[in-house]
Amino acid sequence: MLTVSVISPERVLFEGTVDSLVAPAFDGEVGILPQHAPMMTLLGKGELRLGADGGAGRFLIEGGFLQVLNDAVRVVTESASER
């Protein structure tokens, strides 16, 4: 499982565990599964989907970054809204 935090300037949008996530990176979508290699990427504009088919949550995000380290994923975005 992945421990995920989704943070916007206004508030923490999500904190919990999911089996996967798909995020809109600046150059296309990126998928994250457990045991993913450490990475950091800039985010673009699009839909962040948490869990299989977005079952744990969906957010429209714009800008920011995503960090993966030891099955912990931190998404810090400039703008976000729930779908």
The reported pLDDT for the residue numbered 53 is 80
Q: For residues 26 and 77, is the Cβ–Cβ distance under 8 A? A: no
CATH code: domain 2-82 is: 2.60.15.10
pLDDT at 83: 84
Over residues 22-77, the pLDDT tens digits come to: 999 999 999 999 999 999 999 999 999 999 888 889 999 999 999 999 999 999 99
Domain boundaries, the chain: 2-82
Grade residue 3 by pLDDT with cuts at 50, 70 and 90: very high
pLDDT at position 24, please? 97
